[in-house]
Amino acid sequence: MVFKLMGAEFKYTICPFCGAGCGIYLIVKNGAVVGVERVRDHPVSAGVLCPKGVYSWKLIRHPERLTQPLLRRERGFRPISWKQAIKIIAEKIREVRKDDPNRAYLLSSAKCTNEENYLMQKLARTVIGTNNIDHCARLCHSPTVVALLRSLGSAAMTNSINDVVNAKTLFIIGYNPAESHPGLFRHIMAARIKHSSPSASRILAAKFPSIKHETRFKIIVADPRKTRTAIHADLHLQHRPGTDSYLINAMTKIIIDHDLIDKEFVENRTIGYEELVKSLKDFNIEYASRVTNVPLKLIEEAAITYATNKPSTIYYGMGITQHRNGTALVQALVNLALITGNIGKPGAGVCPVRGQANVQGACDMGALSDFYPGYRAVNPENAKIMEKLWGTKVPEEKGMYSSEMWLEAQLGKIDFLYIMGENPLLSEPGYYRILRALRRIDFIVVQDIFLTETAREADLVLPASLWAEKTGTMTNTERRVQLIDKIVDPPGEARSDIDILLMIYKELGITPLYNGPKEVFEEIRRVVPAYHGITYERLISNRYGIQWPCPDEKHPGTPILHVEKFPTPDGRARIIPVKPEITVKTTKDYPYILINGRLISHYNTGTMTRRILELLLKESSSILIISPEDAEKLNLLDRDVVELETPYGKERIKVRISPEVPPGVLFVPNHFVDPPVNSVTGDIIDQESGIPEYKGIPARINVLK
Ligand code: SF4
């Protein structure tokens, strides 16, 4: 989609940052991108962008972009030709395939397109012969994949982002959309305005006559911090970190005890309710109130509002998933929705909000060590299905989670690591642990747009391209598959990730060789059932995308899942009891609980946003947020430097005093390298999903004299 104005071309694409997938126009003048314009009728962004989207174009001709393949020699990196680089990779793949395919590991990327993720996982499975493939979903929403698949039969957000206007109650837990997905948060605010302001409602009524004005919209936020989202809540449950299972189970128990369940829904569409009731028989809600530090009255009000002021929608993020019991917590939220019938209707759903632009798509494509494409669990039976589809042998044993791979790498058990567009040195827990692991791996390839912290440790660095420099599809958090077109050429000799992968395929003699992204997508359509009906042609005429599942070419896509039945073998959802657990406890030595999260102007490990001056000016280094009460106790002033210590490490860090955290809780944003705050996070993982526990680390503050 292109239009011309004042000598410039406005070319449609999407923002490359978060999973909201906002539509943008890149403004092109004389062949160069000179700015960004909003897309007023895009279903997500609807004419509004956050600072990251506004400045995304600054990455395109950034002076630090990688422009040549670089090989590590004794005295640092030296440029080599693409021919040499691809030959070296092919040789390394042949070696590891011959010796032991499971000593290879591939990290794919939620920043890359579906086509690129598909080719990367296929390289691991069909060429190298291992299921050792993963990407950053292991660190953010792997519990969502496990729990939602098991319970609902589909590992994705059930409703569309703009469907929030149909909800009467919104329960947001462990998630701060005002900072992490501003494009989504504006829909929550639009719903709030629609429901509460008569003048706004008049305007909206004129614009959208089909939407009925409601006045009972309630926002419940459960978050240990007074976040930018929580300040808009009608009810803020400021629970102690690590007590989410007590809070959610208490709400469930209250709903059952008050007989507020949706009996018809439970009877006709679920199994497992009786076990849930049995499991909560002796659950003590007064004790839950004490453990969570939330007054019982507030928990009751939240539960009753959620169950009665329907339809109700749940939004959750990494405050739920990044725990040692992350999968159980997702299940607990699903239970809440199922017993109240809050699923499969407008305004009623369970919405995990994905972090990166294409994390949903990378999961759909099977860039996971435990799932083949289309969420087929890795096992001998599904390996046979994949063998039929691909016409070649497919490994049938689960690969390692990336979180497990780093432990193996530390022991010298990984020979070949190929990283496409990820920066594990800052994203994985344990900066120094990952550094040690990287230094024990025989050969590391990093394919990226900048010389990231991880790329500096590589043996071979490949210059890749940005989203605006390639064609392919991305799937946003609400399952919306959108086509992005190549708008400009990559700088120097940089190549798109798909071109690089196809060069490797060719060098290894893999057939059939795909002639570009469209041919790869044609194969994706055959292999991933939810994508069967989506074609490039349809995506060109539906510029704002099609939401999967889309079973055939006439199907319009699916904004709301589970309307009539669940995609489980018997069509019913599973209610599965969840054991309450306190996942973090303070001690005399570690009297604080440390949590981390995002800031509005930065993004994940900051490899892109730390290179955009306008965003860097807003925040440029790690800070430790502490409550005024704790600061006073420790005699600290704003900007003092302290030593933050956890059982896993310590770092010197600047203090910021803010009432956004309650006494006893500390917060650090996770985007910066000075200091790298992942050096103080631990390596405990959720056994069901492999996600590391980032949230809730016991901590102490050593005041420096
Ligand atoms: Fe980009 Fe997300 Fe901001 Fe939208 S909300 S502009 S997708 S970073």
Q: How far is the CA of 227 from the centre of ligand 1 (A)?
A: 18
Q: Which atom of ligand 1 is nearest to the CA of 24?
A: 6
Each residue's pLDDT tens digit, 368-400: 999 999 999 999 999 999 999 999 999 999 999
Q: Which atom of ligand 1 is nearest to the CA of 53?
A: 6
Specify the range with the lowest mean pLDDT, choosing from 164-173, 215-224, 282-291. 215-224
Nearest to 504 by CA among 462, 469, 536, 542: 462
Q: What's the confidence (pLDDT) of residue 199?
A: 58
- DSSP for 534-556, please give it: --HHHHHHSTT-EESP--STT--
Query: Residue 286 corresponds to which amino acid?
Result: E
The verdict on residue 560 lying in a domain is no
Q: What's the confidence (pLDDT) of residue 212?
A: 53
Nearest to 278 by CA among 575, 583, 688, 581: 575
φ/ψ region of 428 (left if φ > 0, alpha if ψ in -120 to 50, else beta) reads beta
Residues 644 and 689 in one domain: yes
The verdict on residue 622 lying in a domain is yes
Residues 42 and 81 in one domain: no
Specify the range with the lowest mean pLDDT, choosing from 143-152, 214-223, 360-369, 465-474. 214-223
CA dist., res. 241 & res. 223, Å (int): 8
The verdict on residue 327 lying in a domain is yes
The verdict on residue 482 lying in a domain is no
Residues 276 and 341 in one domain: yes
CA dist., res. 431 & res. 438, Å (int): 11
Backbone angles phi, psi at 2, to 5 degrees: -135, 140
The verdict on residue 369 lying in a domain is yes
Please report which confidence band the pLDDT of residue 609 belongs to, taking 50, 70 and 90 as the band edges: confident
Q: What's the confidence (pLDDT) of residue 498?
A: 96
Q: Are 222 and 176 spatial neighbours (Cβ–Cβ below 8 Å)?
A: no
Question: To test the ligand 1 pocket, which listed residue (37, 55, 58, 181) has its Cβ within 8 A of the most ligand atoms?
Answer: 181
Specify the range with the lowest mean pLDDT, choosing from 122-131, 140-149, 201-210, 639-648. 201-210
CA dist., res. 152 & res. 482, Å (int): 25
459-470 burial, b if ≥16 CB within 10 A, otherwise e?
A: bbbbbbbbbbbb
Q: Which atom of ligand 1 is nearest to the CA of 20?
A: 7
**What is the share, in percent, of the chain residues with pLDDT greater than 90?**
78
Percentages helix, strand, coil for the chain, rounded to the nearest 5?
Answer: 35, 20, 45
Residues 607 and 693 in one domain: yes
Residues 261 and 373 in one domain: no
Higher pLDDT pick, 305 / 137: 305
Q: How far is the CA of 539 from the centre of ligand 1 (A)?
A: 21
Question: To test the ligand 1 pocket, which listed residue (52, 58, 609) has its Cβ within 8 A of the most ligand atoms?
Answer: 52
Question: To test the ligand 1 pocket, which listed residue (18, 179, 482, 544) has its Cβ within 8 A of the most ligand atoms?
Answer: 18
Higher pLDDT pick, 295 / 211: 295
Q: Which two tokens stand for residue 131?
A: 């299921």
Does 18 sit in the ligand 1 pocket, CB within 6 Å? yes
pLDDT at 503 over 90: yes
Q: Which atom of ligand 1 is nearest to the CA of 52?
A: 8
Residues forming a β-bridge with 170:
219, 313
Q: How far is the CA of 181 from the centre of ligand 1 (A)?
A: 6
Could you give the C-alpha distances from 203 to 47, 338, 396, 665, in angstroms and in order?
17, 35, 57, 42
**What is the share, in percent, of the chain residues with pLDDT greater than 70?**
97
Q: Which atom of ligand 1 is nearest to the CA of 18?
A: 2
Residues 237 and 268 in one domain: yes
Task: Write down the residue that tokens 């007989």 correspond to.
Answer: 259
Does 240 sit in the ligand 1 pocket, CB within 6 Å? no
Residues 608 and 686 in one domain: yes
Residues forming a β-bridge with 78:
71
Residues 195 and 310 in one domain: yes
Between strands 312-316 and 32-38, the pairing is unpaired
Backbone angles phi, psi at 537, to 5 degrees: -60, -45
Does 328 sit in the ligand 1 pocket, CB within 6 Å? no
CA dist., res. 429 & res. 432, Å (int): 9
Which of 352, 375, 410 is the C-terminal boundary of a domain? 352
Q: How far is the CA of 182 from the centre of ligand 1 (A)?
A: 6
Query: What's the whole-number mean pLDDT along residues 420-433?
Result: 91
The verdict on residue 558 lying in a domain is no
Please report which confidence band the pLDDT of residue 677 belongs to, taking 50, 70 and 90 as the band edges: confident
Q: Which atom of ligand 1 is nearest to the CA of 181?
A: 5
Q: How far is the CA of 602 from the centre of ligand 1 (A)?
A: 11
Question: To test the ligand 1 pocket, which listed residue (50, 162, 359, 480) has its Cβ within 8 A of the most ligand atoms?
Answer: 50
Higher pLDDT pick, 40 / 414: 414
| CATH code for the domain in which residue 28 is found | 3.30.200.210
| CATH code for the domain in which residue 117 is found | 3.40.50.740
Residues 163 and 242 in one domain: yes
Does 53 sit in the ligand 1 pocket, CB within 6 Å? yes
Q: Is the dihedral of CA 412, 414, 415, 421 positive or negative?
A: negative
Q: For the CA atoms of 318, 319, 322, 324, what is the dihedral angle to 10 degrees?
A: -150
Three-class SS of 424-439: HHHHCCCHHHHHHHHH
Which of 59, 80, 99 is the C-terminal boundary of a domain? 59
Q: Give yes or no for a cis peptide into 69 (omega within 30° of 0).
A: no
Largest Cα–Cα separation, the chain = 72
Q: Which domain holds residue 30?
A: 2-59
Q: For the CA atoms of 540, 542, 548, 554, what is the dihedral angle to 10 degrees?
A: -90
Does 16 sit in the ligand 1 pocket, CB within 6 Å? no
Each residue's pLDDT tens digit, 45-99: 888 888 888 999 999 989 999 999 999 998 899 999 999 999 999 999 999 999 9
Report the mean per-residue pLDDT for the chain.
92
Could you give the C-alpha distances from 471 to 139, 480, 487, 647, in angstroms and in order?
27, 16, 9, 45
Each residue's pLDDT tens digit, 630-646: 999 999 999 999 999 99
Between strands 70-73 and 76-79, the pairing is antiparallel
Question: To test the ligand 1 pocket, which listed residue (22, 187, 614) has its Cβ within 8 A of the most ligand atoms?
Answer: 22
Residues 27 and 120 in one domain: no
Query: What's the whole-number mean pLDDT along residues 172-181?
Result: 92
Q: Which two tokens stand for residue 674?
A: 């000075």
pLDDT at 211 over 70: no
pLDDT at 501 over 70: yes
Query: What's the whole-number mean pLDDT along residues 403-414?
Result: 94
Task: Write down the residue that tokens 């059982």 correspond to.
Answer: 647
**Quick one: how far is CA 281 from the chain centroid?**
35
Q: How far is the CA of 19 from the centre of ligand 1 (A)?
A: 8
Please report which confidence band the pLDDT of residue 207 belongs to, taking 50, 70 and 90 as the band edges: low
Nearest to 399 by CA among 135, 93, 685: 135
The verdict on residue 563 lying in a domain is no
Does 183 sit in the ligand 1 pocket, CB within 6 Å? yes
Host H or E run for residue 23: strand 23-29
Q: Which atom of ligand 1 is nearest to the CA of 17?
A: 8
Residues forming a β-bridge with 350:
314
Residues 202 and 303 in one domain: yes
Does 52 sit in the ligand 1 pocket, CB within 6 Å? yes
Which of 306, 337, 352 is the C-terminal boundary of a domain? 352
Neighbours of 283 (CB within 10 A): 16
Looking at the 3D structure of the chain, how many domains does it have?
A: 4
The verdict on residue 480 lying in a domain is no
pLDDT at 543 over 60: yes
Any idea what the Cα angle at residue 477 is, between residues 311 and 314, rounded to 5°? 25
Does 22 sit in the ligand 1 pocket, CB within 6 Å? yes
Q: Which atom of ligand 1 is nearest to the CA of 14?
A: 7
ipTM > 0.90? Answer: yes
Q: What's the confidence (pLDDT) of residue 366?
A: 97
Q: How far is the CA of 176 from the centre of ligand 1 (A)?
A: 14
| CATH code for the domain in which residue 238 is found | 3.40.228.10
Residues 373 and 501 in one domain: yes
